[in-house]
Structure 1
Amino acid sequence: MERVLDIYKRPLNPLYPVVCMDESPKQLIAETRNAVPASPGQPARYDYEYRRCGTCNIFLASEPLAGKRMVKITEHRTKQDWALFLQDIAEQYPEAEKIVLVMDNLNTHTPGSLYETYSPEEAKTLWDRFEFIYAPKHGSWLNMAEIELSVLTRQCLSRRIETIEEVRMEVKAWENARNNKNAKVNWQFTAEDARIKLVRLYPTLEG
C-alpha cells in the first residue's frame, strides 16, 4: 500500500509516466419491448423485462497527472487480451524510458501472459518497457483507474446496451470528450495518512 501511495506522490515526468490500469465486465442487454418516449414533464420509460446478450470486457488505462485515458473493449478477458492492451499502452508512450503501471494483482496480469502472446524477443522487449506495481489484496481502491471506470459507468454505460459495437462507439465518444476536458484525479491520500487512518492494518510493536 505504501509503495503505491509513494508512487502517487511523484511529479509528472514524461520519461517515467505513472499509468493506472483496470478492467471490468459489461453485460450486454437488449430491450424486449419498445420504450415509451419522453414527453413534457415525463422521462422516457422502459419495461423491466430485458434479454441478455452476453458480456464484453472493458480495459481502461489512465495517466492521472496528465489527464489522459484510453479504453479498449474486448469480447473476452484473457491473458492475450491483456497482453495486447499492454502493447496499446506502450505505443502511447514511445519516448518513455519506463512506464510505471499500477494495477490489480490478477492472474492474467503477469509477464507470463506476454510470453503466451508474443515471441520471446517481443515479450521481453514489451516487458522491459514497464515497471509493474500491484495494488495489495483487498486494496483495489488504491488503483486510480477504478475512479475512471466509475466515471465511465456513470456517464456512459449505466443503461441497457445490446451490442459490443455500440459499447465501443459510446465509449470512444466518452474517451475523446473526457480527454479533451483534460480531466485529472486529485489524489491526496498519502502513506502518512494511512498510518493514522488505517492503523489497524499495521502490526503492533511491543516493548
Structure 2
Amino acid sequence: MWCIPAEGDAHFVCQMESVLEVYKRPLDPLNPVVCMDETTVQCIKEVRAPIAARPGETERYDVEYERNGVAHLLLFYAPFENWRRIQVADNHAACEWAEGVRRLVEEDYSNANKITLVMDNLNTHSGASFYKAFTPEHARRLLNKLEFVYTPKHGSWLNMAECEFSVLSRQCLARRLSDSEKVANEITVWTRSRNQNTAPVDWRFSTEDARIKLKRLYPNLLS
C-alpha cells in the first residue's frame, strides 16, 4: 500500500521528481541506473518433520517452529536491464552496505563511468560508510563513480527494488527456511532464473503524471 504524505510537501515532491527524472533517462551501459533496498528474513527451523506431499495433498507443516535468527538481504536491481544481485548477510551494518556497493562498482559494473544508485535515506546509505570500511583513497574512488538519488520519506514506492522484493517474497521466501545458508541458496536459484527469464521494467509514471495525479502534494503558490 502506498503511503502518501500530507498536502503541500515541497521536500517530498522535490525528491520524487529527482527519482522520476532518473527513470526517464535513455538506457546507457556506461551510466547504469541501479535501485537498492534492504530487508530481513526470519529463519525458521522445524520442531517436527513436515509431512511430505502426496497426490491430492500439499506438504504439511506443524504449527510449532523454532526461530533461528534472521538473514539480512541487500538487493541491487537494474530494472531497465533486467539484472539483479542479492547479498545475504548477518547484519545491516554500514560496512556490509559499503561492501555490497563496492562489488557493484568494481565487479558488476567495472566499466561504467558513473552508476546512479536509487535508494532510501537510511543513515548507512552514505559516503561515510565507505570511510568506515575502506582506506580514504579507496572510499573516494568509489564515491567518484556513484551518484546517489534518495527516495523521499513515505516514497518507498518510487524505489523499484521494493517491488522486486515483493516478487521475491511471494515466489521464493513464502515458506520456512531454516538458516541463512538455506536462504542464500534459494535466492541464488531464484535470482539466476529471474535474470534469464523476465523482461526489463516498463516504468510509465512520469514527472508530468505526478504533477497531475499528485497535484495536492505540491505547494499551492496562489494561497
TM-score (norm 2): 0.90
Which residue of structure 1 aligns with residue 103 of structure 2?
A: 88
SS of the counterpart of 2:153?
Answer: coil
Alpha-carbon deviation of 1:183? 3.0
Look up the SS of the partner of 2:172 in the other structure: helix
Question: What is the Cα-based RMSD across aligned positions, in Å?
Answer: 1.0
- Structure 2, unpaired ranges of 5+: 1-15
Counterpart CA distance in 2 for 1:197 and 1:78 is 38
Question: C-alpha separation between the residues in 2 aligned to 1:148 and 1:65?
Answer: 13
Identity %: 50
Alignment partner for residue 203 of structure 2, among 176, 183, 187? 187
Match of 1:106 among 122, 147, 161: 122
CA distances 1:145-192 after superposition (whole Å, capped 9, x unpaired): 111111111111111101111111111111111111143222111111
How many corresponding residue pairs?
Answer: 207
- Name which of 90, 93, 96 aligns with 1:75: 90
Which structure 1 residue ranges, 5 or more long, are not aligned?
Answer: none
Aligned partner letter, 1:12: L
Structure number with the bigger relative contact order (C-alpha 8 A, sep ≥ 6) is 2
Aligned partners of 2:186 and 2:199: how far apart in 1?
18
Deviant stretches of 4+, over 2 Å: none
1:153 aligns with 2:154: no
Task: Tell me the CA shift for residue 51 of structure 1.
Answer: 0.6
What one-letter code is carried by the residue in structure 2 that aligns with 1:101?
Answer: L
Classify the secondary structure of the residue corresponding to 1:28. strand
Displacement of 1:36: 1.8
> Which amino acid letter does the alignment assign opposite residue 76 of structure 1?
N
Per the normalisation by structure 1, the TM-score is: 0.97
Report the counterpart of residue 46 of structure 1 in structure 2: 61
Cα distance in 2 between the residues matched to 1:194 and 1:56? 36
